[in-house]
Amino acid sequence: MTGAEGPRTVDGPLLEVSDLEVTFRSPDGLVQAVRGVSFSVSAGEVLGIVGESGSGKSVSLLAVMGLLPAGAKVSGSIRYRGTELVGMPEPQRRRLRGNDIAMIFQDPMTALNPVLSVGFQIAEAIEVHEPGIRREAAMVKAAEMLDLVGIPNASERARQFPHEFSGGMLQRTMIAMAIANNPDVLIADEPTTALDVTIQAQILELLERVQDTTGSAILLVTHDLGVIAGMADRVTVMYAGRVAETGEVLDVFGHPRHPYTLGLLESLPRLDEDARSRLVPIGGNPPSLLHPPPACPFHPRCRFAELICSQETPLLRPIQGGHQSACHFAERLAEVRAS
């Protein structure tokens, strides 16, 4: 359980990531998955992180949770309620995991243990952080959580096994498991990607409801811009292990200031477009994480690229208010707005 004060009583961001760098050693060389990423999220807020596979978004989440594999090197700063997590000894870190900072994963069908009952797995999350509690009490609480997330016949269902649940119900269960200890920060890694579209909406709605009730911060990672637009307050766009653009959702999506964001938006089919007009993909290939392009990682695929882009790394700089962009020519994009 978190401290006596709820998340809302904290001043400033609950979770603050600064200049995070994560590298792995692979048989082919050093993989630079995250190269200097910063973001933050406050109570009651939803921060969306958008990017392709390979952008470093999932690795960043795992770094926050402390769930990276053994060979990973992490540098930079991750502060939760002002306490530094990078370099924190594991026993302390573990106490935060599932308790103050919780995570739900992409594929609910494989994320739960098939041989243990659903209720047990939720009760386990409770027992770990509430050492005195008895098994029966934890199971009762688990059933309550299932009920909270909208599973009918919760107490019966709690004794069932994951294969007896549908995908949507399993994801609800994952959420129940994650919020069982009232975490301040809820991290969701592509929570709806593996689900049907209709179920997606239900899950997102559930997450919103959870946030309204508990006031927790939500870090929502996805590659689906629509999900971000519907749910997030702020968005951070990642590319090749770096932040390309960040700001309020309306600002970033309405007035993109990075060619990558522009490209993403342009490649979406839109209802208000001429049905016969072609989709505009982003040309080129995703960058290699072993040998990322020098300076601006997007420059090989960028239609605005000039010589400086391959020589000088553009830093994330403020454009207007909280809206920031890592592009030398961010201002130029103001003129080139997609229709």
Partner 1 sequence: MGGFVLRRAVMAIPLIGLSSFVVFCLVAVSGDPLGELRANPNVPRETIELRRQQLNLDEPLLERYGLWLSNAVTGDFGKDVRGREVTERIAAAAGVTLRLVVGAVVVALLLGVTIGVIAALRQYSGFDYVSTFLAFVFFSMPVFWLAAVLKDVGIRVNDLFDINFFKTVGEKSVSVDGGWLATWSDRLGHMVLPVLTLVLLQMAGWSRFQRGAMLEVLNADYVRTAKAKGLRKRQVVLRHALRNALIPIVTLVAIDFGLLISGTVITETVYGWDGMGRLLTNSVIAGDVNVVQAWLLLAATAVVAFNLLADIVYGYLDPRIRHG
Partner 2 sequence: MAERATTDEMAEFGVEVRSHWRLVLSRFAHHRLAVAAVVVLGVLVTVSFLGETLSGHRYDEVPLDADAPLSAPPSADHWFGTNELGVDVFSRVQRGAQRSIQVGFLIAVFATTLGSLVGAVAGFYRGWVDTVLMRITDLFLTIPTLAVLIVVANRFRTSDNSWLAIVLVISGLAWMGVARIVRGVALSLREREFVEAARAVGLPNRHIVMRHVLPNCLGPIIVAGTLAMAGGILAEAALSFLGFGIQPPDVSLGGLIAVGVPSAGERWWLFYPPGMFIVLFCLAINFIGDGLRDAFDPQQTRVRA
Binding partner of residue 282 among partner 2, partner 1, none, CB cut-off 5 to 8 Å per kind: none
Tell me which of 49, 102, 179, 326 binds partner 1, using CB under 8 A. Answer: 102
- Kindly report the CA angle at 140 between 134 and 143, in degrees rounded to 5? 140
Backbone angles phi, psi at 45, to 5 degrees: -110, 150
Stretch in the footprint of partner 2 (CB under 8 A) among 52-60, 128-136, 139-147, 303-311: 52-60
Binding partner of residue 107 among partner 1, partner 2, none, CB cut-off 5 to 8 Å per kind: partner 1
Nearest distance, CB of residue 186 and partner 2, angstroms: 20
Report H helices in 47-101. Answer: 57-65, 90-96
Q: b vs e for 85-111, b when ≥16 Cβ sit within 10 Å of the residue's Cβ? A: bbebeeeebeebbbbbbbbbbbbbeeb
Contacts of 246 (CB under 8 A, 6+ apart): 39, 234, 235, 236, 237, 252, 316, 322, 323, 324, 325
55 binds partner 2 (CB under 8 A): yes
Nearest distance, CB of residue 160 and partner 2, angstroms: 28
Q: Is residue 100 left, alpha or beta, with left meaning phi > 0 and alpha meaning psi from -120 to 50? A: alpha
Binding-residue pattern over the window 128 to 167 for partner 1, x denoting contact by CB under 8 A = xx-------------------------------x-xx---
Cβ atoms of 63 and 49 within 8 Å: the answer is no
Nearest C-alpha neighbor of 208 from the set 45, 5, 17, 328? 45
125 binds partner 1 (CB under 8 A): yes
Stretch in the footprint of partner 1 (CB under 8 A) among 101-109, 216-224, 310-318, 320-328: 101-109
Binding partner of residue 317 among partner 2, partner 1, none, CB cut-off 5 to 8 Å per kind: none
**C-alpha to C-alpha distance for 322 and 317, rounded to whole angstroms:** 10
Q: Which is nearer to partner 1, 114 or 132 (CB)?
A: 114
Tell me which of 31, 50, 179, 249 binds partner 2, using CB under 8 A. Answer: 31
Nearest distance, CB of residue 228 and partner 1, angstroms: 23
36 binds partner 2 (CB under 8 A): no
Binding partner of residue 128 among partner 1, partner 2, none, CB cut-off 5 to 8 Å per kind: partner 1
Binding partner of residue 59 among partner 2, partner 1, none, CB cut-off 5 to 8 Å per kind: partner 2
C-alpha dist (Å) from residue 17 to 60, 210, 243: 9, 23, 12
Tell me which of 42, 58, 173, 200 binds partner 2, using CB under 8 A. Answer: 58
Give one DSSP letter per residue of 247-312, joined into a string. EEHHHHHHS--SHHHHHHHHTS--TTS-TTSPP-PPPS-PPPSSSPPSSSTTGGG-TT--GGGGTS
Nearest distance, CB of residue 22 and partner 2, angstroms: 10
Under rule CB under 8 A, which residues in 27-66 are in contact with partner 1?
65
- Take residue 173 and report the two structure tokens written for it: 């269960």
| Other Cβ atoms closer than 10 A to 119 | 26
Under rule CB under 8 A, which residues in 245-304 are in contact with partner 2?
289
Q: What beta strand segments (E) does the chain contain? A: 15-26, 29-41, 46-50, 73-80, 83-84, 101-104, 185-189, 217-222, 234-239, 242-248, 317-320, 323-325
Amino acid code (one letter) for 244:
A
Binding partner of residue 97 among partner 2, partner 1, none, CB cut-off 5 to 8 Å per kind: partner 1
Under rule CB under 8 A, which residues in 163-192 are in contact with partner 1?
163-164, 174, 177
Placement of tokens 């309204």 in the chain: 212
Nearest distance, CB of residue 84 and partner 2, angstroms: 24
Site residues (vs partner 1, CB under 8 A): 65, 67, 94-99, 102-103, 105, 107, 110-116, 124-125, 128-129, 161, 163-164, 174, 177
Site residues (vs partner 2, CB under 8 A): 24, 27, 31, 33, 51, 53-59, 69, 241, 289
